[in-house]
Structure 1
Amino acid sequence: MTKFVRAATTADLKQMTAIIQQGKTILATDHVPQWQGPYPAASDLQADIDAGIAWVLIVDGQVAGTAALKTTADPNYGKIYQGAWQPADPHYTSIHRISIASGYHGQHLADFFFSNLMTLSYQLGFHQVRIDTHQLNQRMQHIIKKAGFEYRGIVYMADDPADQRLAYQLMLK
């Protein structure tokens, strides 16, 4: 099996959108309210591509995963509750909109994808990575913890008290 990560292009948008839709379906099956509205839409993924922060996981020549690796401070991480970022340094990357195509589940490709995103972060000069997920998203919490992230507290999306997330951080040393 040949697998690697590369920057996404507009030519990947159709596959990326399909993978996100599969992720939405799995979250709905697991009764997780995350991603159950229009977000993330194809326009969000195109904006990631345009900003140069969209990445795809390629397995045997096929797009098998998608993610955004944001390299600017995330406004949703500006305030953290019931915890703190350690350190509170605003120089970090954050992983968003990550999903693996349903036909590739069970192959531990999320571990490989996370490892590559961490390597990219380090190569770009960042020594910490942040991520968040819904408290009911047990699958993602397992992957995040397995990748070495530590729980740091609670953040809210767009300061919406109804849109709470568990926040995690990984230091690259």
Structure 2
Amino acid sequence: MTNYVRQATDADLPAMMAIIEQGRQALAADQIPQWQDGYPLDRDIQADINAQRAWLLIVNGDIAGTAALLTTPDPNYQKIYQGSWAGDADATYTSIHRIAIASGYHGQHLADFYFSNLMTLSYAAGFRQIRVDTHALNQRMQHIITKAGFNYRGIVYMANDATDQRNAYQVML
């Protein structure tokens, strides 16, 4: 099996949105409200592609996963509650967002490989910490995140919305 990551192109948008929709359905099946309001939309994923922050997991030539690797500060991470970020508060970091694995690839531990590659890309770009968040009910993603070496750091809110709480994680490289 040949697995690698590559940057997404405009031509990849339909496949990426299909994977996002599969992720949305999996979250709904687990009664997790994350991604149930339409987000991420085509325009969100297109913005990731345009900014060259969209990365695909390729398995045997097929797109098996999609993720955004941001290299600019995430406004949602500016304030953290019931915890704190490790290291220098002003340090630069990458953040992983909008990550999903196609449903036909679940159970193959490909998320471990994907996270490892996103961590390598971050390190190669000069970053020494990565942040990620997920819904408190998303036990599957929390397992993947902690298995990848991330530590729980506290709670963040999306767009300062008190009803949209996320568990925040960080790994130091």
Distance 2:21 2:130 in 1: 25
Name the SS of the counterpart of 1:166 in structure 2: strand
- Size of the aligned set, in residue pairs, is 172
Distance 2:42 2:19 in 1: 11
Gap runs ≥5 in structure 2:
none
Q: Which residue of 1 aligns with 2:103?
A: 102
Distance 2:11 2:99 in 1: 18
Name the SS of the counterpart of 1:43 in structure 2: helix
Q: Which runs of at least 4 in structure 1 moved beyond 2 Å after TM superposition?
A: none
The answer to whether the 8 Å contact 1:4/1:59 transfers is: yes
Q: Note if 1:136 corresponds to 2:137.
A: yes
Name the SS of the counterpart of 1:57 in structure 2: strand
Name the SS of the counterpart of 1:63 in structure 2: strand
Distance 2:124 2:42 in 1: 28
Q: Tell me the CA shift for residue 29 of structure 1.
A: 0.3
Distance 1:95 1:133 in 2: 10
Q: Tell me the CA shift for residue 42 of structure 1.
A: 1.0
TM-score, normalised by the number of residues in structure 2:
0.98
Gap runs ≥5 in structure 1:
none
Q: Which residue of 2 aligns with 1:78?
A: 78
Q: Which residue of 1 aligns with 2:47?
A: 47
Identity of counterpart residues, as a percentage? 71
Q: Tell me the CA shift for residue 103 of structure 1.
A: 0.3
Distance 2:91 2:126 in 1: 13
Q: Which residue of 2 aligns with 1:152?
A: 153
CA offset digits 1:54-81 (Å, max 9, x no partner): 0000001100000000000000000000
Task: Give the superposed CA RMSD.
Answer: 0.5
The answer to whether the 8 Å contact 1:73/1:90 transfers is: no
